[in-house]
Amino acid sequence: MDSWLDEQGRLFNPRPRVRVLPLGTDRPCVIVDDVLANPQGVVDWAAGQRFVEPVGYPYPGLVLDLPQDAARRVTDLFDQHARGHLGGRRTLGTTLRLAMVTTPPRHLDPRQWQCHRDRVSNDPAAALYAASVLYLFQDALLGGTSFYRPRRSEPEMNRMLVDCHQLDAKAFGERHGLRAGYMDGSNAYFERVASVPAAWNRMIFYDGGMFHSGDIGLDRPHSLDADPRGGRLTMNGFFTCKPAAR
């Protein structure tokens, strides 16, 4: 991780720009701009690593798990700038990885056709699951992140969410009137309520239990590039927290 640091040995910019974006719920999105002291160092390091296909979760591309030392540092940043806004009292664990969207739309499975919620622990005492995305690409048109709320009744939503795990693409599309592709705004099941544009060296934190999705800018020639120096490289974090007392 030494190559991630700036000339003063810092991972994070000591004076980032922090703002809070309301999402219409009791938990907002926290936006931290200019977060890393040497973001290009992370990109250059990533270009020399071997990304792999994910195992056990449906990310549409390639991933690289990061060491616990990096996760601890990002946890400190989360605790300082975001945990309180998201209703957390104590951070119990963090998972951190680099990720690149590389899957063509026609190859997505039904779980990947729509927004999703993050869950990284079955611990019944950990009621808050927060997440983060750090954009490590220069071309903002590769896409930021959008947040959604359900448009259908709870039974209808549950049926669709179960079916996307159990049905093949043809059967799922015919039953629910959806087609293969990255989510691009509202559809019959979800309404987009807010979006955060991508920006170089911008990190966002949000409630992982809220439906969300990356905005994948497929009109860009390098949108699905597997090279970290040109594609949609992000650093994705997942935080399990004790909730604050109400």
Q: What is the pLDDT of residue 225?
A: 96
For residues 120 and 154, which has the higher predicted lDDT (pLDDT)?
A: 154
Contact 12, 35 (CB under 8 A): yes
Whole-angstrom distance, CA of residue 128 vs CA of residue 89: 9
- Quick check: 121 pLDDT over 60? no
pTM: 0.95
The mean pLDDT value of the chain amounts to 94
Q: What is the pLDDT of residue 202?
A: 98
String of b and e for 47-64 (b: at least 16 CB within 10 Å)?
A: eeeebeeeeeeebbbbbb
So where are the chain's domains?
2-243
Does the domain at residues 2-243 carry the CATH identifier 3.40.720? no
Confidence of residue 227 (pLDDT cuts 50, 70, 90): very high
Residue-wise pLDDT for 22-40, tens only, equals: 999 889 999 999 999 999 9
Residue-wise pLDDT for 56-110, tens only, equals: 999 999 999 999 999 999 999 999 999 999 999 999 999 999 999 999 999 999 9
Distances (CA, A) of 204 to 30, 49, 81, 201: 6, 24, 10, 10
- Quick check: 123 pLDDT over 70? no
**Phi, psi (5° rounding) for residue 173?**
-60, -40
Task: Count CB atoms within 10 A of the CB of residue 175.
Answer: 13
Mean pLDDT of 212-216: 97
Q: Nearest-CA neighbor of 210 among 37, 22, 49, 15? A: 22
